[in-house]
């Protein structure tokens, strides 16, 4: 299985980020039909591509908090220079305990951006990554994420339901 590569030109991108790569994984829906037997090799392939950053775009689980534990175990195979970020999707909320889902991810080093932001630095340049909660099942608050972002020329928004 070949991982697709898509080049996204960005106006105003700081020179330090030229060639920066982000691996984006979304809608995994781990559960009875998709377990670590599939996730482990997939996540190893993503790591072998040597992305600068990995983003998990929500719906990591189908309906159960326990499915988040299975995803977290497989996340041990994901590695990127600038780490792993995530935003929740509607199915992550459908578990009834989004905080527990987030804790499983954070235990494995994943930074969850729920109406929040982080900055990434390259050779003295910065970009801001903003993440919002799911627009249907969560508490979407773009204004809060923007307020918490570093004042940079380039902002990238992560949302399960853009």
**Residue of 101, 118, 124, 114 whose CA lies nearest to 160:** 114
Whether the per-residue pLDDT at 1 is higher than 90: the answer is no
**Residue of 77, 85, 127 whose CA lies nearest to 105:** 85
Answer yes or no: are the C-beta atoms of 117 and 150 closer than 8 Å: yes
Answer yes or no: are the C-beta atoms of 73 and 43 closer than 8 Å: no
Residue-level pLDDT at 162: 82
In percent, the amount of the chain with pLDDT more than 70 equals: 99
24: phi then psi, degrees, rounded to nearest 5: -115, 120
Whether the per-residue pLDDT at 123 is higher than 70: the answer is yes
**126-159: per-residue pLDDT in tens?**
999 999 999 999 999 999 999 999 888 899 999 9
Answer yes or no: are the C-beta atoms of 101 and 69 closer than 8 Å: no
Burial class (CB in 10 A: 0-12, 13-18, 19+), 35: middle
**Which residues have C-beta within 8 Å of that of residue 115, sequence separation ≥ 6?**
131, 132, 133, 139, 140, 141, 142, 144, 145, 148
**43-62: per-residue pLDDT in tens?**
999 999 999 999 999 999 99
Whether the per-residue pLDDT at 3 is higher than 90: the answer is no
**Which residues have C-beta within 8 Å of that of residue 149, sequence separation ≥ 6?**
117, 119, 128, 130, 155
Residue-level pLDDT at 32: 83
Spatial distance between the Cα atoms of 51 and 62, rounded to a whole number of angstroms: 26
């Amino acid at each position: 299985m070949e991982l697709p590569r898509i080049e996204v030109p960005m106006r105003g991108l700081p020179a330090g980020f030229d060639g920066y790569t982000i691996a984006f994984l979304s809608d995994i829906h781990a559960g009875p039909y998709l377990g670590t037997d599939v996730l482990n090799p997939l996540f190893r392939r993503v790591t072998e591509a040597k992305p600068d950053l990995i983003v998990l775009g929500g719906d990591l689980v189908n309906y159960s908090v326990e499915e988040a534990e299975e995803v977290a175990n497989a996340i041990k195979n994901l590695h990127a220079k600038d780490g792993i970020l995530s935003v929740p999707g509607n199915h992550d909320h459908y578990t009834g305990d989004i905080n527990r889902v987030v804790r499983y991810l954070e235990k494995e080093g994943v930074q969850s951006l729920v109406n929040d932001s982080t900055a990434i630095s390259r050779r003295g340049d910065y970009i801001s990554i903003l993440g919002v909660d799911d627009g249907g099942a969560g508490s979407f608050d773009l204004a809060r994420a923007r307020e918490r972002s570093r004042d940079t020329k380039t902002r990238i928004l992560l949302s399960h339901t853009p």
